[in-house]
């Protein structure tokens, strides 16, 4: 009995100790987040430093502080594209900014439309006679595109720059499912709705290949045109056509090869690069390290340049990421969450609404929930425009149908008007190990759908009928929105994905333009003069932990430090992304989902915190301890 009491006291002491530790960590995290908020007073005359340690996105994902605290690695860095553009536009006209410095040593990419918008903003900085200097270790397509808009591009001596172009391979699970004796019951409408092919085939269908070749060909042409205009000295044909030959011609020196074909201008490490910037803006008197220079980080710069809010508000609702049922997001388009944002805005005196879409689609039900909420806004007789970013396909096009005017860019991926559902069953797998099903049914639907004993013909017919009905509804929505008949829409639907240029020719898009153009159109339709309106982004909130994570990543500093991923590291990161995409495809088969309007060809940014995009092996807790000098 005495021994039992001692054990009990020990367990209680451990419990109390753990509770105290977690309580202290919580308050430490809260204090750190509040102490590291953006500081508008931190702006200094010198360089504007854009250290993009992560991905450029339409809408950063929400940060779970507890998950981040316990994780082995920090969440992926995510930077809102419009914030970067706003910061660069302000820098172009502000005398305090002498130089813009772009640090891409840990840049993980972004959508082509976003990168074009940032490139245009960099061009505006250069047009204002302000240099743009870029540093990186391994430039791949997205990094090459941004760097092309710089006046001076540096690469680490052990770094590289190469052009891969869009495209790649998807995994097909058909033979594997046959070996496992798993039946993937596929219900779809659309000749080109190839998302389900990965579960039914061992290779790409001719129709899917045809559509993908056309799509990637257009995106590749747009990429080359943008880079060639920004950096005419770059030999893109040689860079894309014979990368190995160029490296061999430079005695296997990848950095020298990149310079020889004009992708970079100078070779040097971070210290040499910092000394070059310091020649233009001066050394940082507060930091006594080689390569330091006077600078302001993007976070503080944006805080000092808050957007003005004159006149009436034009609402902007963002639909970014996969469209899912429920309240998920930001960064994922939870149908209920976005519908609530729209319904809450019914009480606001909005002059109009812009629907900003950057989504490959997803749940048909969630897409319909969002569309219905947009229709309730439309019933107020306010002008509604749609602004498509990198991708607005499948469910992303479904939610675009209430728009009176659709804006897109030539590099936007859109269309994919089709629906599918996949339901696996395992009766053959179980039978192979001696397990069978039997029982009594009072109706053909009793116990159905039975994933363990198989689906009967009645259920299969009902599921296909449901998909057929959903596709017919999709066609009707598009036909009404585009002023066409269902018969006119069907041939350009069929689940086929289109680039923005072709979509414009087909009438799925009204005109080329970005978010600013959509806002201007709504303002004009609402009868508002220039300077008499401002955008109001519905539900846009800055995470209280974002500043802390930026500080922990070291995004405030300039000078010696981690030079990021070299060529091998970049390739490894890309391949790990491919592996995680393949895993996601397998999980999609087994996940509990309804009918889907989802696009296989459409890129989707990884969720914050995914392993391949993690920027450090140190978790949030370890970084906090180090930051406060506790370890």
Q: How many CB atoms lie within 10 A of CB 532?
A: 13
Give the residue ranges of DSSP H helices in 201-313.
206-230, 236-241, 243-249, 254-260, 270-281, 298-304
How much of the chain is in helix, strand and coil states, percent to nearest 5?
45, 20, 35
How long, in residues, is the chain?
Answer: 631
Catalytic annotation on 557? Answer: no
Question: Any catalytic annotation for residue 179?
Answer: no
Of 98, 130, 193, 259, the catalytic one is 193
Q: What is the Cα–Cα distance from 95 to 481, expressed in whole angstroms? A: 47
Q: Are 160 and 257 in contact (CB under 8 A)?
A: yes
Kindly report the CA angle at 554 between 550 and 557, in degrees rounded to 5?
115
Instruction: List Cβ neighbours of 499 (8 Å cut-off, separation of 6 or more).
Output: 214, 215, 218, 219, 222, 410, 411, 412, 413, 414
Name the DSSP class of 491: G
User: Where are any strands of DSSP class E within 413-474?
Assistant: 413-415, 419-425
Question: Are residues 96 and 44 in contact, defined by beta-carbon separation less than 8 angstroms?
Answer: yes
Rounded Cα–Cα distance for residues 560 and 290 (Å): 7
What's the distance, CA 529 to chain centroid?
Answer: 34
Q: What is the CB neighbour count within 10 angstroms for residue 252?
A: 10
Residue 268 near residue 154 (C-beta atoms within 8 A): yes
Query: What does the alpha-carbon distance between residue 625 and residue 631 come to, in Å, rounded to a whole number?
Result: 6
Catalytic residue chosen out of the listed positions 292, 394, 547, 604: 394
d(C-alpha 496, C-alpha 209), whole Å: 11
Please list the active-site residues.
Answer: 193, 394
């Amino acid at each position: 009995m005495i021994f039992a009491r001692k054990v009990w006291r020990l367990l209680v002491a451990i419990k109390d100790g753990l509770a105290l530790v977690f309580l202290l960590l919580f308050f430490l995290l809260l204090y750190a987040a509040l102490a590291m908020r953006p500081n508008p007073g931190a702006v200094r005359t010198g360089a504007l430093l854009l250290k993009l340690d992560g991905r450029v996105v339409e809408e950063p994902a929400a940060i779970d502080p507890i998950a981040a605290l316990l994780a082995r690695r920090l969440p992926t860095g995510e930077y809102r594209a419009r914030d970067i553009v706003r910061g660069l536009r302000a820098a172009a006209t502000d005398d305090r900014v002498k130089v813009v410095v772009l640090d891409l040593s840990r840049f993980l990419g972004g959508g082509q439309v976003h990168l074009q918008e940032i490139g245009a903003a960099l061009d505006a900085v250069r047009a204002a006679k302000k240099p743009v200097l870029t540093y990186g270790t391994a430039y791949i397509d997205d990094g090459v595109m941004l760097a092309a808009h710089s006046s001076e591009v540096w690469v680490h001596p052990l770094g590289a720059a190469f052009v891969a172009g869009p495209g790649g391979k998807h995994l097909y699970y058909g033979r594997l499912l046959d070996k496992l004796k798993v039946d993937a019951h596929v219900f779809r409408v659309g000749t080109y709705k190839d998302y389900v092919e990965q579960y039914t085939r061992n290779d790409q269908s001719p129709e899917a290949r045809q559509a993908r070749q056309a799509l990637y060909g257009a995106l590749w042409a747009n990429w080359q045109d943008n880079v060639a205009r920004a950096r005419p000295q770059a030999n893109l044909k040689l860079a894309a056509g014979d990368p190995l030959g160029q490296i061999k011609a430079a005695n296997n020196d990848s950095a020298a090869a990149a310079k020889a074909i004009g992708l970079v201008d100078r070779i040097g490490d971070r210290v040499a690069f910092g000394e070059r910037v310091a020649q233009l803006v001066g050394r940082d008197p507060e930091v006594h390290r080689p390569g330091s220079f006077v600078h302001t980080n993007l976070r503080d710069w944006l805080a000092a340049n808050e957007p003005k809010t004159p006149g009436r508000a034009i609402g902007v609702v963002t639909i970014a990421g996969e469209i899912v049922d429920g309240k998920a997001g930001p960064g994922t388009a939870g149908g209920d969450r976005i519908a609530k944002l729209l319904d809450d805005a019914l009480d606001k005196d909005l002059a109009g609404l812009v629907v900003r879409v950057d989504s490959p689609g997803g749940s048909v039900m969630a897409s319909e929930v969002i569309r219905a909420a947009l229709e309730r806004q439309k019933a107020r007789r306010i002008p509604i425009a749609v602004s498509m970013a990198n991708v607005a396909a499948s469910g992303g096009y479904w939610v675009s149908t209430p728009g009176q005017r659709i804006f897109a860019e030539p590099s936007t991926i859109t269309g994919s008007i089709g629906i599918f559902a996949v339901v696996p069953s395992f009766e053959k797998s179980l039978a192979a190990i001696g397990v069978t099903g039997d029982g009594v049914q009072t109706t053909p639907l009793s116990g159905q759908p039975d994933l363990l004993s198989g689906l009967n013909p009645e259920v299969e017919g009902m599921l296909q009928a449901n998909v057929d009905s959903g596709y017919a509804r999709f066609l009707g929505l598009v036909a009404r929105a585009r002023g066409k008949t269902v018969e006119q829409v069907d041939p350009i639907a069929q689940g086929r994905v289109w680039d923005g240029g072709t979509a414009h020719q087909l009438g799925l898009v009204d005109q080329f333009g970005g978010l600013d153009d959509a806002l201007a159109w709504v303002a004009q339709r609402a009868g508002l003069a220039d300077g008499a309106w401002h955008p109001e982004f519905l539900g846009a909130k800055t995470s209280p932990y974002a500043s802390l994570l930026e500080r922990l990543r070291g995004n405030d500093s300039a000078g010696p430090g981690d030079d990021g991923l070299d060529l091998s590291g970049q390739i490894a990161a890309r391949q790990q992304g491919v592996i995680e995409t393949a895993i996601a495809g397998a999980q999609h088969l087994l996940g509990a989902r309804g009918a889907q309007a989802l696009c296989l060809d459409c890129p989707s940014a990884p969720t914050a915190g995914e392993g391949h995009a993690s920027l450090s092996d140190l978790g949030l807790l370890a970084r906090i301890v180090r930051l406060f000098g506790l370890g």
